[in-house]
């Protein structure tokens, strides 16, 4: 009998609201719903400081999913913080970097979106632009935040998916149009990763592992596109299939 793979979803710190709620760990239900629909059992991961507990949670996972969220603290990639850097969450940085490094070392599937692809790159030894407006004058607009005229699923700029990559095998090579909600991006590519997608201005929009296995990150938000885009659905399905395959291998030992 097939057993649904368990996928860990990291959380983000919500500051306390005096007189209403204490400090919380939260994450969008959208990720849970999309991963569930793709065949996973989602496991929302607390940002615990107890490393034994974090490791015990990790050991029960068949894959790690890194969602979108606030900026990474530049201290994690050994740069000074600039005024353009936004809100950060040091507990989330610590937990996500740890999980990615464990997963990459042990070949456990990883899928990362938006902030997640930035965390993946930093965890593997890369760096980030703290704000794309400071990157180059020719940069296109990437920060289409939801507002009265913009929705999270709006397709706003093209990306070119590199032929011969794992992402191309899943979504198809060539140009596609994506949503975009970020003001930071990959600066120095980590040595263990390869580029699988770029924006028209040259910004890295996707990466994947150099070795066999499933390590994929994209800068856009495919979870918002699964109803309208078969290729977005295939991305999540491929991740769950990889996690299920690894789970079967582990259970067969």
Q: Which residues are catalytic?
A: 114, 221, 223
Burial (CB < 10 A; 0-12, 13-18, 19+), residue 131, is: middle
* Residue that has been written with the tokens 């913009």 in this structure: 150
Dihedral sign from CA coordinates of 32, 36, 39, 42: positive
Burial (CB < 10 A; 0-12, 13-18, 19+), residue 45, is: buried
Say how far apart CA 104 and CA 64 lie, in whole Å.
10
CB atoms within 10 A of CB 164: 10
Say how far apart CA 208 and CA 195 lie, in whole Å.
7
> What are phi and psi for residue 45, nearest 5 degrees?
-100, 125
Give, in degrees to the nearest 5, the angle at Cα 8 between 88 and 31: 70
Dihedral in degrees, nearest 10, Cα atoms 215, 235, 61, 188? 30
Give 177's Cβ-side CA count (13 Å radius).
Answer: 6
State both tokens at 231.
Answer: 């290729």
């Amino acid at each position: 009998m097939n057993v649904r793979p368990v996928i860990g979803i990291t959380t983000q710190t919500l500051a306390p609201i005096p007189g209403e709620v204490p400090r919380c760990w939260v994450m969008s239900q959208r990720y849970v719903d999309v991963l569930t629909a793709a065949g996973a059992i989602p496991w929302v991961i607390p940002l615990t400081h107890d490393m034994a507990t974090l490791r015990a949670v990790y050991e029960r996972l068949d894959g790690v999913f890194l969602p979108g969220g606030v900026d990474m603290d530049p201290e994690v990639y050994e740069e000074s913080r600039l005024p353009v850097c936004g809100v950060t969450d040091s507990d989330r940085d610590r937990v996500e970097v740890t999980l990615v490094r464990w997963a990459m070392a042990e070949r456990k599937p990883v899928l990362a979106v938006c902030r997640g692809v930035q965390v993946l790159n930093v965890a593997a030894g890369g760096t980030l632009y703290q704000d794309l407006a400071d990157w180059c004058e020719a940069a296109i607009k990437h920060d289409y935040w939801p507002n009265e005229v913009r929705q999270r699923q709006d397709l706003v700029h093209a990306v070119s998916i590199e032929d011969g990559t794992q992402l191309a095998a899943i979504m198809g090579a060539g140009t596609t149009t994506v949503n975009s909600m970020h003001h930071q991006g990959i600066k120095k590519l980590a040595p263990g990763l390869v580029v699988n997608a770029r924006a028209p201005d040259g910004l890295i929009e996707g990466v994947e592992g150099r070795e066999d296995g499933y390590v994929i990150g994209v800068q856009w938000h495919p979870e918002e596109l699964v109803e309208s885009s078969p290729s977005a659905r295939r991305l999540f399905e491929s991740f769950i299939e990889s996690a299920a395959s690894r789970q079967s291998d582990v259970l067969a030992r």
